[in-house]
Structure 1
Amino acid sequence: MRTKSDERRHHILQVAAATFSELGFENTTMSDIVSRIGGSKSTIYSYFPSKDVLAQAVLAHTAQIRLQQAFQALDTARPLRDVLRQFGRTYLVQLLAPEMLSAVRMAQQNTHRTEHGKHFYEAGPRTGWTIIQKFLEHHTQAGTILPCDGWVAAMHLKGLLQGELLERAMFGEQITAVRAIHQVADRAIEVFLRAYGAPGA
């Protein structure tokens, strides 16, 4: 059960994420965020002592909330194709959500100056794709995936899922048709299984 403090922190993260998305990280000040939240600067600084700390928390929060649903749906007891299709669809829809795209852009900015990107990667993509690696290794042992390097296979799957739409979305194209996104995900899974699926699996 959330405490009032937890709810306040969650609200700050939501408002900060929306503000960073709208104004851009560099153009956003703590005053901008405080004005949208209400109250005093001391309140937000009691949770996040600087904009950099707040940004890292926003990125970690966004990565966890947006991506965990996809990665948590992996079930080794269900047929491999069904699980991968469900994963691919959920993952791609979440990845292309405006908040997630904004987080990715922010994580990629000023990587030479801040550790935003590193924290974002460790909190979301790295953690999630390690789960995929272990899932694929399980199926390799079960004989439904051909012998392979689990991490390399996971990265191939990631590339296939992101290949058609992510770059377009990152450059500003609005991609919101869920059915079309699902079709892209399904194509990616089919290609992956042709490369890695064991015959008859």
Structure 2
Amino acid sequence: MTTEPGDRPLTLREVRKQDRRAAILAAARRSFLEEGYAATSMSGLLRTLGGSKATLWSYFPSKEELFGAVIAEVTAAFRQQVMAELDAPGGLEATLVKFCRSFMNKTSHADALAVWRLVMAESGRFPEVGRIFYQQAAGHIERALVGYIQQQIDARRLRDDGALNMARVLIGMTAAQQNRRLWGVEPPGSEGMDADARRFVGYFLRLFATGPSQA
């Protein structure tokens, strides 16, 4: 039976429930990313997965909750790595460069691009798509960067122009490169990301740094 560190062994029933949940998420992930939010339905997933509607709804009571679980799963590694860059020891400039480079690298992956396109295409008709994406992915990154910037403001390395506004300036610059990939103007890949990250952080520090940068 499956075990987790510090936990009791899972029962056979619990393992089966985990496996069933994973199968639902895998099918939903394919459907959302390939067919879109509007075209994905609970009844359609049941035709793919088999089983009863009651069983599916016992795991995910609504399409919105299922979509949120898919977004959380797709972006989990991305969120963890990008946020870890802000927790690692290092100077202000070096940390922000690593953050931007990691952000651009992770958002260039195929699943990340598919999610971004889905959100941009369908959030106008289905506002819950954008709200869920922000709650499960973008909001975590933004809050982590706000927290880091506030620490630097408190340490008097950055002037206080509102940590949230400052975070959005930096994220906005890095997200601009994402748009170029979405439009097909720039191919996916890491070439040039380090130079872009250093340039964006340079702009940011010229706006907000209180003294010489700390690499």
Asked whether the two chains share a fold, i.e. TM above 0.5, the reply is yes
Q: CA RMSD in A?
A: 2.7
Determine whether 1:25 maps to 2:33: no
Partner residue of 2:51 out of 15, 40, 48 = 40
Specify whether residues 76 and 113 from structure 1 end up closer, same or farther in structure 2 by C-alpha distance, changes over 3 A only: closer
Residue 7 (structure 2) aligns with: none
1:8 and 1:89 map into 2 onto residues whose CA distance is 36
Whether contact under 8 Å (1:169, 1:175) holds in the other structure is yes
Residue 155 (structure 2) aligns with: 142
Which one-letter code corresponds to 1:180 in the other structure? G
Q: How far has the Cα of 1:148 moved from its partner?
A: 2.3
Which one-letter code corresponds to 1:40 in the other structure? G
Determine whether 1:75 maps to 2:87: yes
Specify whether residues 82 and 58 from structure 1 end up closer, same or farther in structure 2 by C-alpha distance, changes over 3 A only: same
The two structures have a TM-score, normalised by structure 1, of: 0.81
Q: How far has the Cα of 1:32 moved from its partner?
A: 5.2
1:66 and 1:7 map into 2 onto residues whose CA distance is 23
Specify whether residues 15 and 185 from structure 1 end up closer, same or farther in structure 2 by C-alpha distance, changes over 3 A only: farther
1:113 and 1:176 map into 2 onto residues whose CA distance is 28
Structure 2 residue runs without a partner (length 5+): 5-9
2:184 and 2:42 map into 1 onto residues whose CA distance is 26
Determine whether 1:123 maps to 2:165: no
The two structures have a TM-score, normalised by structure 2, of: 0.77
Q: How far has the Cα of 1:71 moved from its partner?
A: 1.4
1:25 and 1:13 map into 2 onto residues whose CA distance is 14
Residue 187 (structure 1) aligns with: 199
Determine whether 1:161 maps to 2:181: no
Deviates more, 1:79-88 or 1:92-101: 92-101
Whether contact under 8 Å (1:18, 1:99) holds in the other structure is no
Whether contact under 8 Å (2:181, 2:188) holds in the other structure is no
Determine whether 1:132 maps to 2:145: yes
The count of corresponding residues between Structure 1 and Structure 2 is 199
Q: How far has the Cα of 1:100 moved from its partner?
A: 1.9
Which one-letter code corresponds to 2:174 in the other structure? L
Deviates more, 1:129-138 or 1:178-187: 178-187
Specify whether residues 49 and 191 from structure 1 end up closer, same or farther in structure 2 by C-alpha distance, changes over 3 A only: same
Whether contact under 8 Å (1:93, 1:181) holds in the other structure is yes
Q: How far has the Cα of 1:88 moved from its partner?
A: 0.9
Which one-letter code corresponds to 2:196 in the other structure? V
Q: Rg larger in 1 or in 2?
A: 2
Determine whether 1:93 maps to 2:88: no
Which one-letter code corresponds to 2:172 in the other structure? G
Specify whether residues 99 and 32 from structure 1 end up closer, same or farther in structure 2 by C-alpha distance, changes over 3 A only: farther
Q: Secondary structure at the match of 1:124?
A: helix
Q: How far has the Cα of 1:21 moved from its partner?
A: 1.6
Q: How far has the Cα of 1:112 moved from its partner?
A: 5.0
1:142 and 1:76 map into 2 onto residues whose CA distance is 17
Identity of aligned residues (%): 24
Which one-letter code corresponds to 1:115 in the other structure? E
Q: How far has the Cα of 1:151 moved from its partner?
A: 0.8
Counterpart mapping for 1:47-62 below 5 A:
47-62=59-74
